[in-house]
Amino acid sequence: MKIKSAEFVVSNSDVSKCPKNSIPEYAFIGRSNVGKSSLINMLTSRKSLAKTSGRPGKTQLINHFIINDNWYLVDLPGYGYARVSKTSKKTFQKFITQYFALREQLVSAFVLVDIRHNPQPIDLEFMQWLGEHGIPFSIIFTKADKLKPKAIDNHIESYKNVLLETWEEMPNYFITSSSKNIGKEDVLEYIDSLNSN
């Protein structure tokens, strides 16, 4: 899919203030620093559409970006960031949960996980929660540039083994690297196929 335009629309901490129109949207979620904002920049071929940082906790709000004037990419704060205060952690969790529970325009979530790490309880629990709420999602493995192909295969295999303990089948997944531009077309084609359904 060709990205002709990509523009920031609005930031919110309140899901009821998110754009009201009913155009389809896709949200990126995962641990802080996993590469959500970088992935949005890779997908849109814009260097700094979404703000990124080497320090976790950069994205703190629900950010809507409109793509080709007819669908949204949504950048969300990360979960599991230890250095924010307990109060702001709770606030984050609340609006992230509300976003997923209330946002009817959401076609699919993308749960990002760092390909270098073994399956983490927080990610597995979040996927479980999405499943229980009937929210479709795919997994995006990030930072594939950090591992050799063989190690990538091994990590995916161990992820599959863990997921298949609770899921009937492996959720749809993508292997990406925002710094090496890997996986861009796969994700965009997938979104395109969902948009035309």
Dihedral sign, CA of 146, 175, 186, 31? negative
Q: Indicate whether 131 belongs to the interface with ligand GTP (CB under 6 A).
A: no
Q: Of the two residues 58 and 155, which places its CB atom closer to ligand GTP in the complex?
A: 58
**Among 43, 78, 174, 183, which residue sits at the site for ligand GTP (rule: CB under 6 A)?**
78
Listed ranges 35-43, 102-110, 118-126, 156-164: which one lies at the site for ligand GTP (CB under 6 A): 35-43
Reading the block at residue 153, the tokens are: 């295969």
Edge to edge, what strands does the sheet with 6-12 contain? 6-12, 62-67, 71-75, 25-30, 106-114, 137-142, 173-175
Give dist(CA 107, CA 137) in Å, integer. Answer: 9
Minimum Å gap between C-beta 71 and ligand GTP is 20
Please name every residue paired with 26 in a beta bridge, in sequence order, or none if there are none: 73, 108
Q: Indicate whether 143 belongs to the interface with ligand GTP (CB under 6 A).
A: yes
| Exposure string over 29-52, b if 16+ CB within 10 A, otherwise e | bbbbbbbbbbbbbbbbebeebbeb
**Among 33, 41, 44, 59, which residue sits at the site for Mg ion (rule: CB under 5 A)?**
59
Return phi, psi of residue 106, to 5°.
-70, 120
Minimum Å gap between C-beta 59 and Mg ion is 3
Return phi, psi of residue 102, to 5°.
-105, -15
Listed ranges 15-23, 55-63, 101-109, 156-164: which one lies at the site for ligand GTP (CB under 6 A): 55-63
Q: Indicate whether 142 belongs to the interface with ligand GTP (CB under 6 A).
A: yes
Where on the chain is the footprint of ligand GTP (CB under 6 A)?
Answer: 32-38, 52-54, 56-59, 77-78, 142-143, 145-146, 177-179
Where on the chain is the footprint of Mg ion (CB under 5 A)?
Answer: 36-37, 58-59
